């Protein structure tokens, strides 16, 4: 096993009361790809900050290879003091790092580099922060919720980049499919301690459930053993003759273990308040369209949504999902076409911005300031009791919102939305910041909801498990509804993914479906992309290096005694030489195409 680049051992940290970290361990070697998982509030982000050197534990040992470079992606990046995204990204480079790598990442993540950091959306800020930490290709890459606010195309691109990276990777994410595809090991932080599974996240839940079952069995056995020992102390013949101090001491020790064991965190109890049943027809849209200046966001879209349907809207950020959603529920009037809402509709909506007054307390927010109780499904319920259903502690009732973590804020907003009587749930990015246990409950709630659900999400697993149809953009303002979940949509599209760059290109196309190939080629050939420029400048050096390696291999094989002395080594060199020839041919062909393209543009 390779020596660790990073090792945390016996980490302890307490913020009053129960320890947050109680002997936690974390180690990463070159090439490791580790998913760090646990409940919201379990200390995952704190442990990651300790690994990054941003937080000091109260006890424990920390080792980092002295020459290892570390980059940390926070949940909320700080871009103050930077005039542009490019300046922010390049500030993360070291003296020996390649600036073209920063340019490549900026462009691949859908940015130009000239954006003002103060005007970025949440998704754009996340992409800029990713470019900054990935550009130096560090030895250790620590990512806290890297997929938050990213659209599906960027998430899928990021998966590929992280699968290829040589950096040791430790990541926190709620996106199951992302973790399944990128991780090779899982560290589970639970009740202050860590356990490690040397398999991908796809195997985690089965492993976790087995451990919890074994714990419950051991706790049950311990309880029965205590009962037997107490019976012996009271009624045993030996106990009546003389006191056995050793067994008495063991009994006291068992009682202490039984009493002080920290059981698993409780599960949220999530249910939605139900209103009177809506009519069978919920929403009917006919040929609706919406434009902002020259940009057509929605073009002649029609759909019919009935009671019980669960419809997901997907697509790149900025493509118009929220605009289409608002038109469907009557919040925004279309430029043309009609939207008809069904009878008896009562809507509960979750906005992705989730703006909260930081000084407001949890109890005040849930009750709208009307005392200490609220009405849920026609029954009066004390606010503390309702908070417990969403894993809040009674003492948090008077806690200001500003002291909550991102996951706790997400749960608080859901708690308020689900307490309102409704038969149409409108959820815009409901999965952001939720831990996986709460996500499971939300998934069950949505899948079993008796009313109608409209949701916007970039979580592929959540979509596959909940929705009955998916509405996706096709470019130029065109939207198509597909039956089934996200995977079903991809199958119906022939495996074609929602690539944001392709979508942006489609926006610029004429309305005709079959634009002449020459027109498209001319439009895309106005200038070389940063990636093409980078390849054009670096390929000659790579070609020279490859030719030198080939010459060295050929010189070795020219030795008549080489094969007799080392047949296996001869075969290995011959295979490597064949691979180098193929690589050289591909690089020369790519360079020639780019050079011809450059001459065509400049000419």
- Binding residue positions for ATP: 38-45, 315-322
Are the beta carbons of 82 and 117 closer than 8 angstroms? yes
Nearest to 122 by CA among 334, 351, 283: 351
| Residues facing 73 on adjacent strands | 143
Cα dist. 588→516, 574, 600 in Å?
30, 21, 18
Cα(507)–Cα(499) distance, rounded to whole angstroms?
13
| Residues facing 26 on adjacent strands | 8
Pair of tokens at residue 165: 């990276």
Residue 82's Cα: distance from chain center in Å?
26
Q: Are strands 336-341 and 281-292 parallel, antiparallel or unpaired?
A: antiparallel
Residue 368 buriedness (CB in 10 A; 0-12 / 13-18 / 19+): exposed
Triad 270, 274, 275: Cα angle to 5°: 160
Pair of tokens at residue 30: 């070159």
CB atoms within 10 A of CB 48: 24
Cα dist. 136→69, 81, 247, 531 in Å?
9, 21, 61, 17
In the annotated binding site, the residues are: 38-45, 315-322
Cα(398)–Cα(157) distance, rounded to whole angstroms?
43
Pair of tokens at residue 56: 């000091």
Residue 314 buriedness (CB in 10 A; 0-12 / 13-18 / 19+): buried
Tokens 């399944």 -> residue:
180
Mapped onto helix, strand or coil, the DSSP state of residue 197 is strand
């Amino acid at each position: 096993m390779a020596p660790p680049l990073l090792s945390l051992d016996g980490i302890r940290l307490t913020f009053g009361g129960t320890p947050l970290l109680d002997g936690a361990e974390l180690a990463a070697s070159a090439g490791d790809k580790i998913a760090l998982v646990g409940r919201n509030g379990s200390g995952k982000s704190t442990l990651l900050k300790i690994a990054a050197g941003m937080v000091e534990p109260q006890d424990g040992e920390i080792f980092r290879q002295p020459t290892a470079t570390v980059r940390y992606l926070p949940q909320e990046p700080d871009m103050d003091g930077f005039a542009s995204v490019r300046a922010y990204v390049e500030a993360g480079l070291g003296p020996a790092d390649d600036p073209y790598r920063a340019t490549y990442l900026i462009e691949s993540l859908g940015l130009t580099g000239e954006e003002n950091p103060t005007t970025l959306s949440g998704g754009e800020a996340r992409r800029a922060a990713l470019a900054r930490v990935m550009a130096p290709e560090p030895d250790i890459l620590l990512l806290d919720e890297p997929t938050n606010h990213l659209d599906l195309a960027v998430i899928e691109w990021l998966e590929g980049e992280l699968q290829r990276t040589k950096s040791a990777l430790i990541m926190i994410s709620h996106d199951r499919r992302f973790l399944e595809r990128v991780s090779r090991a899982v560290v589970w932080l639970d009740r202050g301690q860590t356990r490690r599974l040397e398999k991908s996240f796809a195997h985690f839940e089965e492993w976790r459930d087995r451990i919890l079952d074994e714990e419950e069995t051991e706790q049950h056995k311990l309880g029965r053993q205590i009962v037997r020992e107490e019976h012996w102390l009271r009624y045993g013949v030996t106990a009546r003759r003389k006191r056995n101090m050793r067994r008495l001491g063991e009994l006291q020790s068992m009682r202490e273990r039984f009493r002080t064991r920290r059981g698993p965190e409780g599960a949220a109890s999530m249910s939605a308040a139900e209103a009177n049943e809506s009519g069978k027809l919920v929403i009917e849209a006919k040929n609706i369209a919406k434009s902002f200046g020259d940009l057509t966001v929605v073009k002649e879209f029609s759909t019919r949504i009935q009671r019980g349907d669960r419809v997901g809207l997907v697509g790149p950020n900025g493509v118009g999902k929220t605009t289409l959603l608002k038109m469907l529920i009557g919040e925004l009037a279309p430029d043309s076409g009609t939207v008809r809402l069904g009878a008896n509709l009562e809507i509960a909506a979750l906005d992705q911005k989730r703006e909260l007054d930081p000084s407001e307390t949890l109890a005040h927010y849930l009750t709208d300031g009307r005392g200490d109780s609220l009405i849920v499904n026609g029954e009066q319920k004390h606010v503390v009791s309702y908070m417990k259903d969403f894993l809040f502690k009674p003492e948090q009732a008077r806690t200001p919102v500003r002291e909550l973590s991102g996951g706790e804020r997400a749960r608080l907003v859901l708690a308020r939305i689900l307490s309102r009587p409704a038969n149409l749930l409108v959820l815009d990015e409901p999965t952001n910041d939720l831990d996986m246990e709460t996500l499971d409950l939300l998934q069950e709630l949505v899948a079993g909801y008796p009313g109608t659900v409209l949701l916007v999400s970039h979580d592929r697993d959540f979509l596959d498990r909940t929705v009955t149809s998916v509405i996706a953009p096709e470019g130029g303002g065109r939207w198509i509804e597909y039956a089934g979940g996200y995977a079903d949509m991809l199958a119906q599209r022939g495996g074609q993914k929602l690539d944001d760059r392709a979508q942006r290109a489609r926006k610029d196309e004429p309305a005709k479906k079959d634009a002449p190939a020459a027109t498209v080629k001319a439009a895309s050939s106005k200038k070389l992309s940063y990636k093409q420029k980078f390849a054009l400048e670096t390929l000659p050096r790579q070609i020279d290096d490859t030719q030198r390696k080939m010459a060295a291999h050929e010189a070795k094989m020219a030795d008549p005694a080489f094969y007799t002395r080392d047949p296996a080594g001869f075969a290995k060199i011959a295979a490597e030489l064949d691979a180098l020839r193929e690589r050289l041919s591909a690089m020369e062909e790519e360079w020639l195409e780019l050079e011809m393209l450059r001459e065509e543009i400049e000419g």
